[in-house]
Amino acid sequence: MAKNPLFLVPNLITIARILAIIPIVWLVMSGEGTLRAIALALYVIAAASDWLDGYLARAWNQYSPLGRMLDPIADKLLVGILIAALAWDGSLSALDMIPASAILFREFFISGLREFLGTSKVVLKVSGLAKWKTTVQLVALAVVLLERLVPGLGLVSDILLWLAGALTLWTGWQYLRASWPHLMQEQA
């Protein structure tokens, strides 16, 4: 009997990453000091779980359509909702909102593009650079969280956030360019 994909360990890890967003955001928005440190610890665990679920899926051959759908959604939710919380609590400056907005725009745009292309059976495969983009986004947001606990990291967090924004826009452009012929097809 086939195992229910919901209960595959990699999928459970992905679901846990999604659920972890709730306490992370609550802790970020609730205060400084210890609460911020706990938020950072939970965030680092959630971010690392992005690597872990993929590694286990490959190592244990536990691939599933559910996992392929949930994993990028989990990443986008974690990044997008944390950006909103960090903007709300003042951790992101007005200048930081430029790459942060670029990240949000690209993630929504590419998600919509994938959904649209899915109706025509076109699959946009995740590129190696897009995987690095996600890693840089996750690290940049960790440093933004850490900045309130360890003063003096402003320049580092700014550089990482702008790098994440640049990689995000570049990979978005790559996906748009790859999908352009399919978008320009005339309807029969």
CATH number at residue 49: 1.20.120.1760
23 vs 185, which has greater pLDDT? 23
CB 175, CB 109: distance < 8 Å: no
In a domain, 121, yes or no: yes
The answer as to whether 167 is a domain residue is yes
**Per the domain annotation, does 188 fall within a domain?**
no
136 domain-assigned: yes
Closest by CA to 96, choosing from 42, 148, 155, is: 155
166-167-168-172 Cα dihedral, nearest 10 degrees: 110
Q: What angle, 0 to 180 degrees and rounded to 10, lies between the N-to-C axes of helices 97-118 and 65-88?
A: 160
DSSP 62: -
Global confidence as pTM: 0.90
Asked whether residue 131 is domain-assigned, the answer is yes
Q: 24 lies in which domain range?
A: 5-183
Question: Which tens digit of pLDDT belongs to each residue from 159-184?
Answer: 999 999 999 999 999 989 988 888 88
Q: CA-CA distances (angstroms) from residue 24 to 10, 27, 34?
A: 21, 5, 13
What pLDDT shows up at residue 71? 93
Q: Is the dihedral of CA 147, 128, 123, 65 positive or negative?
A: negative
pLDDT at 188: 54
Domain for residue 29, yes or no? yes
**Structural domain tally of the chain?**
1
Residue predicted with more confidence, 116 or 52 = 52
Tens-place pLDDT, residues 133-147: 999 999 999 999 999
